[in-house]
Amino acid sequence: MNKSLRGVSLIAAIMFLALLVNATFNYGFRSKGLNDDPSNLRVTDSQFNTDRGSILASNTPIAQSVAVSGNRFSTQRTYSNGALYAPVTGFYSYIYGRTGLEQSYNSQLSGQDDSQFFSRMIDEATGKNPQGATVQTTINPAVQQAASDALGGRTGAVVAYDYTTGAILGWVTSPSYDPSQLSSVDLPATQTAWQNLVGDPSNPMSDRATQQIYPPGSTFKLVVASAALENGKSAASTVSSPVTLPLPNTNRVLPNAVNCGGSTSTIDHALTVSCNTAFANLGMELGADKIRAQADKFGFESPFTGDFTSATSTFPAQLDASQLAMSSIGQYDVSATPLQMAVVAGALANDGNLMQPYVVSEVRDRNLNVLTKHDPQSRGNAVSKETAASMQNMMVHVVQSGTGTATQIAGQTIGGKTGTAENLPGASDYSWFAGFDKEHHVALSVFLANPNQAGSATGNATVAAKRVFQAVQS
């Protein structure tokens, strides 16, 4: 071989090697990004003809692929009890993409994750059809169903979780929708379903549990009371609690829903009976900076992230005295997701330790090998153990003899805080409950946009919370 021919051969060999390396890199390392891109229609066609992995609740499929025929697709995504689990699973649609766990775990469900590289290579070498991994959630079906039943078709949400680990047991929003409508291989029917859903004024695709924020009302008094105890006060400290409180530099007067029992109240009593004027005065005494700092420690101003990302709960900046007074009772521009208020109750029940909420416990391949497993993670201490112990006692008093007596369960230590938040003029007030079951290590939040919605006879948020706690114990 002459010198020039050897040179050409060497260049050809180098180019072939470069192509091989590039193909291997794209297949092995870029596949996750390429497959997660909803605009990649070639991949979309491919994925709709593969055996996508299931999403499970207590080992029962709540999302799975089934074989179909008669069109260009060989499989179709179906959702068991779809409306119940929709905020968890999300949907997987040929036209409208993915949401929920279908999106956040798409690479694993489609079998294209980096952790499945060698499995893919073996499947291709042996001629097996590609198969996605199975995603196991932390959802407890009994708790999920009880939460849905407790809402009774009313607009609202429930979040329940194990406050010692962060594992979400119940995640319900109402009204909801069936994701199967959007995953159909009948594409014209899918388009019609989408148009009906987005045009529905009740917003059934809105996840009110983690993606919407609302004024938390008196449940925010848990944050203010915690700030007071963290800054030198005790449950026995007294605060001015008149029947009405003129708001500084305004013509408005803040009333109480109940008589606070005199000119002063202890923080304990004020929380038990939910005294507005006491907490407005307490908030103005503490100052916005201390309340904001405490709210931040509970997770305000920072979304919960991981296998899902929540909306951000907020405590307003630049408050004057009257705005601070209203913010201290969870009004003005204070806003929170139901998840956030469940986390506040959970951190207090967990001796101050705030655990990161999560909804996926593990991911397994077709051979049941664990690809990923969740390890509980702490976001740090929201309050000291001493403050948490005092807050737990006060929250138990709320249920024993205050505004939360409807949540009582014989033989169980239930603590919590009720809340009523003003809605738009002429609309019903929001109803809240945030609390814990000490024996079963469960904290929850119930939010009802309209507790007296037509046709409902299931009571306010405290009654709904009791039903969920009872499901945890069964």
Q: Of 427, 435, 449, nearest to 151 (Cα)?
A: 449
The H or E element spanning position 408 is none
**Whether residue 184 lies in the annotated active site:** no
Peptide bond into 188 cis (omega under 30): no
Burial class from Cβ neighbours inside 10 Å (0-12, 13-18, 19+) for residue 285 reads middle
Q: At what angle do helices 221-230 and 276-286 cross, to 10 degrees?
A: 40
Calpha distance 274→267 (Å, rounded): 10
Calpha distance 105→395 (Å, rounded): 38
Calpha distance 285→325 (Å, rounded): 10
Calpha distance 306→122 (Å, rounded): 30
CA–chain centroid gap for 454, Å, is 27
Task: Compute φ and ψ for 378, nearest 5 degrees.
Answer: -90, 140
The H or E element spanning position 264 is strand 264-266
Identify the active-site residue in 218, 226, 265, 445.
218
How is residue 52 annotated by DSSP?
P
Residue whose entry in the numeric block shows the structure tokens 């403050």: 387
Residue 169 to residues 199, 340, 449: CA-CA distances in angstroms?
A: 31, 15, 22
Counting every residue written for the chain, the total comes to 474
- ∠ CA 406-408-412, nearest 5°, is 165
Q: What share of the chain is helix, strand, coil (3-state, %, to 5)?
A: 40, 20, 40
Active site residues: 218
